Structure 1
Amino acid sequence: MDNLRGIESFVKAVEGGSIANAARQLGITPAAASQNIARLEQQLGTRLLLRTTRRLALTEGGKIYFERVRQVIEDLDMAQTALFALNDRPQGRLRVAVSTAFGRHVIAPMIPAFSARWPDVSVELILNDERIDHIRDEIDVSIRFFRPSGAGLITRKLGDVPIIICASPDYLARCGTPREPEELKHHDCLLFRTPYDGRLLPWGFFRNGIRFEPDLHVSIISNDIGALAAMTIAGAGISRLGAFLARDLVAKGDVVALFTSGSAASGAEADPEPLDFHICVQDREAMLPKVRLFIDHIVDEWKKRPI
């Protein structure tokens, strides 16, 4: 439909009884409305309206054409009204993809409050650590512990999550307690392989403002953080866990936090590098009200809860 503006001007003119009325409805000048109709007639190769000083009259062809296209314009107006209503009241499905462990322990508890406030929005929470495509996978929002890349992708840093290096009391009783990261090469280390790129997640530390990665003796590898936590509790070795998962385990005595302040030799203290989480949408056009409200909700909840 190459001449939609001409069709709109024609239909509004017939319904309103004049080109001036059509122009007012469309927010354009009468001259512009008249030109739109003239271009439409030229494109169709037939006269649609007989213009007189007092009123408009439809030609025979104009009558046939008007009956056919009037419903099209009505449908377009109804579609636009429906979109405006959707923008005014958030509703419909909202698909949210989140890294598995983080989604289970941090994001999932935040969603009920959002659903209670916006009951017309149906949230689908998808937990996985794979690389996702917002368009292909029909994802509205993603939250990842790495910064995803993609054409037009808009990312916003949500925040940092502290890391706890830990082991079970049983393992430490058997194998000794490392006092600084450099001693990890003499211990069994449990590493996470990131499903989105197949690489082992590095164990970064900061000491006196300088980042470094110590040598590690890799004992077990898994692509699931929950499995690594279970093996750590069972005494398999030392693992690197997000604080949202490890804090409760430390509090219950299932694991012991290593390299905490005061535990290392003087001058040797090192802090584990935190994970930074990003919240992402495909592009600015994807920032629908329900998406914007969900992001605002997660950001607000993040500020309230210690991660």
Structure 2
Amino acid sequence: MKSSFILSEVFGGLKRNFSMVLSVVLVTFVSLLFVGSAILLQMQIGGMKDYWYDRVQVAVFLCPPDSEAPTCAEGEVTEEQKESIRADLEGQDLAAYVDEVHFEDKEMAHRLFNEQFAGTSLEGSVPQDQMQESFRVKLVDAEQYEIINEYFSATAGVEEVVDQNKLLDQLFAIMNVATAIAVAIAAIMLLCAVLLIATTIRLSAFSRRRETGIMRLVGASNAFIQLPFVLEGVIAAALGAALAGAVLALVVHFGVAGWLQAQAAGFELVSVGDVLIVTPLLIGIGIIMAGVSSVITLRRYMKV
């Protein structure tokens, strides 16, 4: 009897305040959409770090014919200098830091360049004889790049040493900024959702003040009187959270796992499975947010 009465009160309140409830659903949807996007973006950053940091290398670029670097004063790197640099990389001095070394000649550099920019205006734009030779070094510890850089900083035939980790760090820093922006927008929208839920519950309680007054007179507890109002906010917020999860799943399925994954066929992007992991968290956030704001709002009202 009590449960049926509470449910009838809940659905009655949802019907009477449909426009406000719809506003709560939409604001919760938008705010949790940003929250979910931020979580998925962080999951993607973590996956990309695991993938790329295991594959990035230190590139020891050799002198091209027209370099102005002090170590290239004698012109293009000679065969003797190449062998000397290779011997240093594979020698005992760097054995504790260097895992693998392979040489990338002009032909290979040209082929890889065209593969990387296939289908763009850059494909075939650089002749093979203008490509730069290099040694690609995989380190035992990727953070020990400075050791290689310092070792070859004054070596004849070496134009520069480039750590690809630094390029990735810049990329991930940009992605982290995007995540921070999404979190900031989500926080603002969540605050709006909390205020809107509180307003909706207050108006709903005010419109039914006669019923709640009668219930109080017949001895109903505060918890029993408050529960229908709390459930109204919780249901609206849960619907908004579920809608956010559904939209994220559609975007990931058709946009990320569909089109974008085909463009980045080398590592895994976030999938619908990841969205299914995030969605219950979004629903939980929505329920807690609505429940807490409703209880705080009604606590003062019930004391009247």
TM-score scaled to structure 1, two decimals? 0.25
Query: Would you tell me which structure has more strand in proportion to its own residues?
Result: 1
TM-score scaled to structure 2, two decimals? 0.25
Query: Would you tell me which structure has more helix in proportion to its own residues?
Result: 2
